[in-house]
Structure 1
Amino acid sequence: MKQISILGCGWLGFPLAKRLILNGNSVKGSTTSEDKLSILEDAGINPFLVTLERESISENIDTFLAESEILIIDIPPKLRGNQDFSTSLEMTFVKKIQNLIPFIEKSSVSKVLFVSSTSVYGDDNEWITEETIANPDTESGRQLLLTEEILQKNQNFETTILRFGGLIGEDRHPVKFLTGKENLENPDAPVNLIHQNDCISIIEEIIKQSKWNEVFNATAPFHPTREEYYTQKAKERNLVLPKFNSEKSNMKKVISSKKIETILNYKFDLEEY
């Protein structure tokens, strides 16, 4: 049994915590909502109200980290996608993690798993592996990359970076936002998606196999074009079909998950897609 702290029990962190507990681990989970504390507790999670700010952090952070060997950081940057990086001086998300690091250093945590995103890669590459130089073109991607680097350079704990593609699940699918829309760009661009169940299983395998000081891309090896995929998904859900503009097509980015498939011997459940 491992003692694990999950910073951010949201869409992914909450079911992840339940799965880890089901497999015999003890889990502390954080939320920023008092109303959710009882929900976490009812699921067998030791609940904590934790808020990270640019200049401060919740007083109970020490207790949240105490006795845990592993910390999973799963909090989104929540930044505007196209904000101009040159004029963004606050670096809000980066500073929040920087405030957290001294508390990790003095805690029992020796392993950190940071949930990042494939948005750290630019759109000018056609085939992307972990060896591809990250070149984010959004503010969110830039701050995620800086946070990755800060965590990786710290010698007080081992860090594995997990870069997820577009997140989907039973209650979450991009087609809901595309239905009925017209003049959509990049009809020929490959999709780079990962299902919530695969996200959870991959994190489980990283912990089980003790794969630390690694960087993993995580998208399903399933890359139909945007037009093919979202048209089919709209039909399956009886939604108004999205309409794409073939004249606005310039993105060919494919995120490879070969490293996960090889090193973790992981098989994606393609039926989920």
Structure 2
Amino acid sequence: MHVSIYKTVSVLSCGWLGESLAIDLLDKGFIVKGATTSQDKKERLLEKGIDAYQLRFEDLNDAMKSFLNSDILVLNLTIKDLELYRQFLPVLEQSPVKKLILISSTGVYQNSAKPVDENSELSESVWVSIENLMKDNPNYQTTILRFSGLFGGNRKPGNFLSGRSVQNGEAPVNLIHRDDCIQIINEIIKQDVWEECFNCTADTHPSKKEFYTRAAKLIEVPLPIFDEKEGNPSSFKLITNEKLKRRLNYEFIHADLLDSLSL
């Protein structure tokens, strides 16, 4: 069982990543609250032992306050409406939550010819604004996890670019398996690591052409078509995970992206 000073974790929301995370946390002995917009999903979560709530992000009501009666909040949303985060913030500040894990994206960085670490130049992504709004708050401590593209389970990389015309085939791929996302979140909680920001991406960065061609062949779908004549060869970035591995002493479950395709 997971040994932690924290007892309750709320996961907003329980989608493709969040549901698997909630189940994993439950298995490790946490009391887990999970939010979903779907009544069917709520029933499924309840059956698995998760304290499930049917909530939208903008539902700033008693149910949301009950959901936020927790030690830790994992804010795992694809919503990019900054105003909704502004409206949510006072409710979070007034809640018992003392630790926030904010799931962000390596899309916050500008393209770069140099490897991209946590101090690299940021883009004008809305995620930058969301991070800035939510962090450095006296009411709770935040750790930001910037995930690269997610895969695993039924999310097969072979489908991502299948049959599409693709430029910059030699650009490096930045992806992370769902298993690693879940384990990294567990390590943040277990090791009590807060007020940090980490890039979360696999160790290897094969080219788009090599990776997605192999991925499509493995699941027997149409191959991507790589246009070698067009595109900007410098319009890419290679995300480094060195800080994460060093700070958490973390070893990736799926470190090699090409090897992970055959699992």
Q: Paired residue for 1:162, among 145, 155, 159?
A: 145
Q: Compute the displacement of 1:125 (Å).
A: 4.6
1:213 equivalent in structure 2: 195
CA deviations on 1:58-90 (whole Å, 9 max, x unpaired) are: 441111111x1100100102x6xxxxxxxxxxx
AA matched with 2:101? L
For the 8 Å contact 1:16–1:200, the answer to whether it is kept is yes
SS in 1 for 2:167: coil
**Correspondence for 1:52:** 57
State the SS of the aligned residue for 1:127: coil
Letter in 2 for 1:208: K
* One-letter amino acid of the counterpart of residue 196, structure 1: R
The residue identity in structure 2 corresponding to 1:43 is K
Counterpart code for 2:219: R
Q: Which residue of 2 is the match for residue 177 of structure 1?
A: 160
* Corresponding position: 1:117 with 2:105: yes
- Structure 2 match to 1:88: none
* Aligned with residue 65 of structure 2, among 46, 55, 62: 62
Give me the TM-score of the superposition, normalised by structure 2: 0.90
Match of 1:74 among 67, 73, 76: 76
- Per the alignment, residue 99 of structure 1 pairs with 87
* Local SS of the residue matching 1:216: strand
- Aligned residue pairs total 250
Q: Deviations over 1:39-75 (max 9, x none)?
A: 110111101111123xx63441111111x11001001
Structure 1 unaligned residues grouped into runs of 5+: 80-92, 137-141
| SS of alignment partner, residue 128 of structure 1 | coil
Determine which of 131, 140, 147 is the counterpart of 1:148. 131
Other-structure match for 2:121: 133
Identity of aligned residues (%): 39
Alpha-carbon distance in 2 for matches of 1:146, 1:209: 27
- Would you say the 8 A contact 1:188–1:252 is kept in 2? no
User: 1:84 aligns to what?
Assistant: none
Give ranges in structure 2 of 5+ residues lacking alignment: none
Letter in 1 for 2:190: K
Map 1:183-202 to 2 at 5 A: 184-202=166-184
Name 1:16's counterpart in structure 2. Answer: 21
Moved over 6 A (4+): none
| CA RMSD across the alignment | 1.5
3-state DSSP class of the match of 2:226?
coil
